[in-house]
């Protein structure tokens, strides 16, 4: 997995979750810890523990399958669906928005997985002609915790039988060994967030190195998985354009571009309220001194000309090495799309359709009939 993330020191179990199969599997990973059954998370909150060092196993109390939070006015979003089975992350990236976004006394893992799968099936039935994309890596790393990986295995086997959906597991670890022999039917994308080595060392403690991530991607490719890479966040620093171009070169020196289903580009962004927390938790960080401006969605970002220049460099490097790879911008405006790629999706539904059309053309076994844009309205 690379450098080991924080391991839990306490496990709390909601009374209704104590006999779940996932609860038993998670507790078996930590035989030295004695779980404590509680009635609610309020008991944990009173102890004021480090949420990264505490697991809380419980049942969902509402929908866990949601629209990506990138769907905000002014930005183009791809209508990705997130499955929030794990809340919080044991890794320790300086820029992580979860530091500000989640306000929970523990890392929460929902163990009623059959109910989550039922919710997924209900959503798929609402638009059976649409090709859906789902992922678990929004509110946690998809693979950094055993509880996340156990659920990921269940999802891989479930998605292998779905005719109109892809699963993406996004990680900064190398924890894929248990998935390599699974019958995934080509319907799971194993994805890695990437950055230059100096950014990984400085801003992503607890994660695998770039070389470790790429070796894991090679293993996934050999096992027949589709791959994706996420240049998110792109961070400005001296010689950043050269460093990110080298990352692109390393990816395509290791990986067959015909197995890469998509690559995203997203710039560093976070709420202004996160600034002081980053300074406190990561005093050595180099990201705070950068000049940033508050954008329409309320987040701090680099000035648009600076974002566009870096985006364009990375976009062109990718297209030079993998011209057929679908490249998209995450949480950006139509003018930025135009300046970087020469075109902009009409709206969120159009970008969703563009994903489906690219998949149908490049991987027809996943989407044998050409998609109809009317199905994405």
- State residue 5's pLDDT score: 62
Q: Parallel, antiparallel, or unpaired: how do β-strands 81-83 and 65-67 relate?
A: antiparallel
- Nearest Cα residue to 42 out of 56, 63, 27: 56
Which pairs count as long-range contacts for 156-163, CB under 8 Å and 24+ apart, including other chains? Answer: 156/182, 156/184, 156/188, 157/182, 157/183, 157/184, 158/117, 158/120, 159/134, 159/184, 159/185, 159/187, 159/188, 160/184, 160/185, 160/187, 160/188, 161/185, 162/124, 162/187
Number of helices and strands (H, E) in the chain? 12, 16
Estimate the crossing angle of helix 146-159 against helix 21-28, to 10 degrees. Answer: 140
Nearest to 76 by CA among 338, 357, 359, 315: 338
Please list the helix, strand and coil fractions of the chain in percent, rounded to the nearest 5, in that order. Answer: 40, 20, 40
pLDDT of residue 101: 73
- Rounded to whole angstroms, the Cα distance separating 15 from 20 reads 10
On whether the CB atoms of residues 208 and 1 are closer than 8 A, the answer is yes
CB 292 within 8 A of CB 300: yes
Q: How far is CA 259 from the centre of its chain?
A: 19
Angle, helix 113-126 to helix 146-159, in steps of 10 degrees: 40
Q: Which two tokens stand for residue 183?
A: 């019958």
CA 342 to chain centre: 26
Alpha helices in 63-136 (DSSP H): 98-101, 113-126
Q: What is the pTM of this model?
A: 0.96
Phi/psi-derived region of residue 331, left when phi > 0, alpha when psi is between -120 and 50, beta in every other case: left
The full set of domain ranges for the chain reads: 59-365
Tokens coding 143: 């693979």
At what angle are helices 240-254 and 304-321 packed, to 10 degrees?
Answer: 30
Fold entry, domain 59-365: pyruvate-formate lyase- activating enzyme (3.80.30)
Segments of the chain with pLDDT less than 70: 1-6
Quick one: pLDDT at residue 7?
Answer: 85
Q: Where are the beta strands (DSSP E) in 9-158?
A: 10-14, 36-38, 54-58, 65-67, 81-83, 86-87, 107-110, 132-135
Check residue 4 and give its pLDDT.
53
Q: What are phi and psi of 335, to 5 degrees?
A: -60, -35
What would the DSSP string read from start to end of 239-307?
THHHHHHHHHHHHHHHS-GGGEEEEEEEE-EE-TTHHHHHHHH-TT-SSTTS-EEE-TTS-EEE-HHHH
Cis peptide bond upstream of 233, omega within 30? yes
Kindly list the distances between the CA atom of residue 21 and the CA atoms of 33, 114, 263, in Å, as whole numbers in the listed order: 18, 10, 35
């Amino acid at each position: 997995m690379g450098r080991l993330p924080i391991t839990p020191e306490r496990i709390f179990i909601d009374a209704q979750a104590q006999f779940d199969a996932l609860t038993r599997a998670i507790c078996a990973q930590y035989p030295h810890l004695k779980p404590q059954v509680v009635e609610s998370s309020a008991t944990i909150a009173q102890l004021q523990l480090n949420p990264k060092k505490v697991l809380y196993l419980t049942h969902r109390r509402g929908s866990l399958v949601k629209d990506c939070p990138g769907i905000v006015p002014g930005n183009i979003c791809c209508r990705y669906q997130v499955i929030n089975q794990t809340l919080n992350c044991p890794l320790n990236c300086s820029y992580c928005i979860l530091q500000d976004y989640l306000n929970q006394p523990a890392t929460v893992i929902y163990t009623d997985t059959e109910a989550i799968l039922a919710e997924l099936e209900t959503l798929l039935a609402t638009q059976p002609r649409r090709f859906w994309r789902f992922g678990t890596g929004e509110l946690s790393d998809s693979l950094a915790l055993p509880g996340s990986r156990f659920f990921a295995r269940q999802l891989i086997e479930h998605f292998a039988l779905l005719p109109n959906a892809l699963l993406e597991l996004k990680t900064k670890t190398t924890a894929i060994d248990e998935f390599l022999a699974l019958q995934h039917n080509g319907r799971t994308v194993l994805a890695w967030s990437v950055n230059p080595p100096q950014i990984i060392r400085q801003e992503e403690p607890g994660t695998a190195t770039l070389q470790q991530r790429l070796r894991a991607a090679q293993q996934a490719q050999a096992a027949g998985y589709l791959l994706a890479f996420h240049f998110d966040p792109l961070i400005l620093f001296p010689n950043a354009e050269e460093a990110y171009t080298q990352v692109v070169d390393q990816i395509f020196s290791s990986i067959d571009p015909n197995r890469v289903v998509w690559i995203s580009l997203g710039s560093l962004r976070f709420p202004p309220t996160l600034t002081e927390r980053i300074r406190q938790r990561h005093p050595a960080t180099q990201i705070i001194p950068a000049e940033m401006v508050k954008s329409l969605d309320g987040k701090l970002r680099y000035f648009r000309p600076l974002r566009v220049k870096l985006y364009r460099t990375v976009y062109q490097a990718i297209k030079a090495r993998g011209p057929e790879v679908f490249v998209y911008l995450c949480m950006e405006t139509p003018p930025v799309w135009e300046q970087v790629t020469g075109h902009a999706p009409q709206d969120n539904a159009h970008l969703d359709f563009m994903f489906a059309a690219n998949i149908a053309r490049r991987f027809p076994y996943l989407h044998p009939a050409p998609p109809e844009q009317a199905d994405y309205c």
